Each structure stands twice: as C-alpha cells, then as structure tokens.
Amino acid sequence: MQRNILRTFLIYSVYTLIIIISSILVYKTLQGSALIENKINFQGLWFHDKNIYSISIKQDNKLAFKRIRYKGGGLKIEVIMDVPIGEQKWFEERYWWNEWYGYKNLKNSFKRIHITSEGDIQRAGWNYGKFGNGTTKCIQ
C-alpha cells in the first residue's frame, strides 16, 4: 500500500516537473523579440578578425569603443566604401534579437560599415588562446 502511494507520488511529481519545464520553454519562446536598429558615426575602425571589428565613437569629449560582430547565423559584416572624402564614416545595423535564442529573422538583418577607403581600416589584435595570437595586417 505504502509503495503504491510512493510510486504514484513520484509519477505525479515527474509529470508536474515536465509540465513546469515545458511551460517555461513555451513562455520563453513566445516572448517578444526586439528590433534593434542603430546608425552610429565613428572616428576610427579596427579589424580584429573575420567578422570582428571595433569602432571608436566620440561622446561628450570622451572616446568610447564598440565591438561589432556577428556571433553566428552565417551573416557577414559588410564594409562599404561609399563615404565621400571629408565626410563622417558611419556604421549601421538592423536585426531582430531575442534573449532566449539570439539572432532571429536573419534574412532581413544586416551590419554595414561605411568608410571612405580601405586605408580607414587599422590593424588590431586577435587572440585564440592556446592556438596563438597576433595582429592583423593592413590592407593596401
């Protein structure tokens, strides 16, 4: 008798746990995504590695740095040489983001860096831990 009660309790506990976990997963999946759209003027551009750049931004007489990269999804950061000489270089991005699973709706997403010429791209460091580190080469 007591064994049957214990077995029944364990079965109901497992079912309850499965229902709770499933509810959390459904809630997180249905949670709203945010559309991120930015356009930022920048002063300097550094190339670290494939799909990893940094830009320097002047804000209130302070210099701030922003890392630009895609953490997956197979998208590439586009570098476009369309800024006239003497004009401000800029970066734009548009993507959907969800805290639960990251990038979403990638076909309508982009990250673009607009520069005057390849001479605007500066060398920067990279580090693969035990696999080595170094500095990128300048594009000429």
Q: Give tens-digit pLDDT for 36-67.
A: 888 999 999 998 888 889 999 988 889 999 99
Q: Are the C-beta atoms of residues 90 and 83 closer than 8 Å to each other?
A: yes
pLDDT confidence band for 126 (50 / 70 / 90): confident
Domain ranges of the chain: 1-30, 33-135
Nearest by Cα to 77 from 57, 47, 100? 47
Say if pTM beats, i.e. exceeds, 0.95.
Answer: no
Tokens of 138: 């300048």
